[in-house]
Amino acid sequence: MKNILVTGSLAYDYIMNFKERFADHILPDKVHILNVSFGVDNLTKQLGGTAGNIAYNLSLLGERPTIAATAGKDFTEYTEWLQSNKIATDRIKILPKEYTASAHIITDIDNNQITSFHAGAMLGHDFSLQETIDKVKPELAILAPDCKDGMIRHATELREADIPFIFDPGQGMPLFNKEELIGMITGSKVAIFNDYELQLFRDKTGLSQEKVEDFTEYLIVTLGGKGSIIYHQGKEHKIPTAKPKNTSDPTGAGDAYRAGIIKGLLNKMPIDRMGKMAALASVYTVELYGTQTHKYTLAEFKKRYQENFAEKLEI
């Protein structure tokens, strides 16, 4: 096992279903005085956040990551879950006056969503990683979406400590300007985006894709159901998808994919094999509702890898 540092968000997700269409209850000509209430079904409370999801998937892959993030006074339940999955929580900073970040998501029958997000303790993520770096001595870190100031500070600290890191701005992209984005990607081991995020990154920085590749060792672009592409040393590696048993909920698939990439990098796998392993890790999340509800053994994972890609996996 390797020393892995995972930064990012920790959050509770409250997920609800509305068995009608939002559009049938909103009057377009009255949105300036909007006042609506939706009766919902199937309220579930899920453990989430980028750091929690990535760390959980790394645990399934046999690693014991350390999370460096902020949480609130209501985090006890989540702490116990992480510890039960052998994930180090001693570098999680608890802010006793705040609540853990939370998202409240309502989905209608057309899969339209209304979401409210309370950042809570996540806004206190601007703390130094230096003590954590000295204690954990990570071989690889991931800079996953979190509050703006924390991400900028942590990118600088990881680079100055010569810790290889993955730059993963995700949905936080609109928070940053050109100079901040270029500053964070510079010197990264990996930069990972979905295709929309990469275009947004290029629009905000004015960089061509070739120039983006110059700032990082591996540029990875995920394409949803079309697989992913890994660019490395001027070469393009097209990665196929694995076959899901169903597609219940795509939430968290990207975080699981990132865990597979981390595992592959630390085990110095060939690029194609690393990408396929990441693709398979993401499929498990898609098949179950929630981001940390799936489970598998390494033996089960290897068997399914061989079934999907007709080759053995050694991890």
- 257 contact partners, CB below 8 Å, separation of at least 6: 222, 228, 278, 279, 281, 282
Per-residue tokens: 155? 């990118």
Contact 284, 260 (CB under 8 A): no
Q: Does domain 223-315 sit in CATH 3.40.1190.20?
A: yes
CA distances from 264 to 49, 73, 140, 223, 283 (A): 22, 35, 11, 19, 16
Q: Which has the closest alpha carbon to 139: 262, 234, 55, 239? A: 262
Nearest-Å Rg of the Cα atoms of the chain is 20
**Is residue 232 within a helix (H) or strand (E), and if so which, with residue range?**
strand 228-232
Residue ranges of the chain with per-residue pLDDT less than 70: none
Q: Where do you find CATH 3.40.1190.20 in the chain? A: 1-23+42-163, 223-315
Tokens of 253: 């698939």
| DSSP code, position 109 | T
DSSP 3-state assignment of 199? helix
Q: How far apart are CA 47 and CA 122, in angstroms?
A: 15
Q: What is the pLDDT of residue 126?
A: 85
pLDDT score, position 111: 74
Q: What per-residue confidence (pLDDT) applies to 31? A: 81
Give 1-23+42-163's CATH code, choosing from 3.40.50.620, 3.20.20.70, 3.40.50.10440, 3.40.1190.20.
3.40.1190.20
The pLDDT tens digits for 191-246 are: 999 999 999 999 999 999 999 999 999 999 999 889 999 999 999 999 999 999 88
pTM for this model (two decimals): 0.93
pLDDT, position 295: 97
Strand partners, 149: none
